[in-house]
Chains A and B, each alone.
Chain A
Amino acid sequence: DIQMTQSPSSLSASVGDRVTITCRASQSINSDLNWYQQKPGKAPRLLIYVASSLQTEVPSRFSGSGSGTDFTLTISSLQPEDSATYYCQQSDSVPYTFGQGTRLEIK
């Protein structure tokens, strides 16, 4: 199985800050990397697919980059509604696997 490791596990930032979350795969997954946002009591929501493509209706302050084993999710200007847990997920091979999650708190 491909292991996905996110860092940090949690972070706290202020409105307007630029925030970066990192995801590392245990082997190369090309660009087969997706990012999801999950708010308490809700199902995860797709934000970014194939590393850098923004899903429809996702605000442009979200962006993704990377390929191979190292990927990042960036929020350019943090908003209060961005408080959530973020997960990366590899779609390169079965079994599909997720990172452990990064909990983002707004100061």
Chain B
Amino acid sequence: QLQLQESGPGLVKPSETLSLTCTVSGVSIRNNTYYWGWIRQPPGKGLEWIASSYYSGTTYYNPSLKSRVAISVDTSRNQFSLKLNSVTAADTAIYYCVTLFSKSVNYFDPWGQGTLVTVSS
């Protein structure tokens, strides 16, 4: 059964870089059915797609964040990661790692449990 688990600091200082890792279990990250990605949700607000990546390196970014974000896949560890630089309080959110099923249809399933990242000094 495909499962995802986020890890990383829960507190980041303004202007610094937010770094999160997602560990994939139950399937190889090289599986050609899936893209791997991140979605965030500010407390009490809606959902924002951040980025998605294929294991081979093909990536897609939300233009609203593209200048500050990088997603990468580590096939040796079956993990993928998110880096968001120059963070501000507006980047405080629950960050979910997600699987983008992509085989003629696209949808996000499953999701990790989410990790709250607070940007504060």
Interface of A with B (CB < 8 Å)?
A: 1, 32, 34, 36, 42-46, 49-50, 53, 55, 87, 89, 91, 94-101
Contacts and interface: CB of A to CB of B under 8 A. Distances in A.
Q: Dominant SS at the B interface?
A: strand
A43 B47 contact: no
Contact of B49 (A42, A98, A101): A98
Contacts, number: 57
Interface of B: 46-49, 52, 60-64, 96, 105-114
Nearest to B48: A98
A66 to B, nearest CB: 15
Contacts of A44: 47, 96, 108, 111
A50 B52 CA distance: 19
A100 B42 CA distance: 12
A35 to B, nearest CB: 10
B43 to A, nearest CB: 11
B109 A55 contact: yes
B113 to A, nearest CB: 6
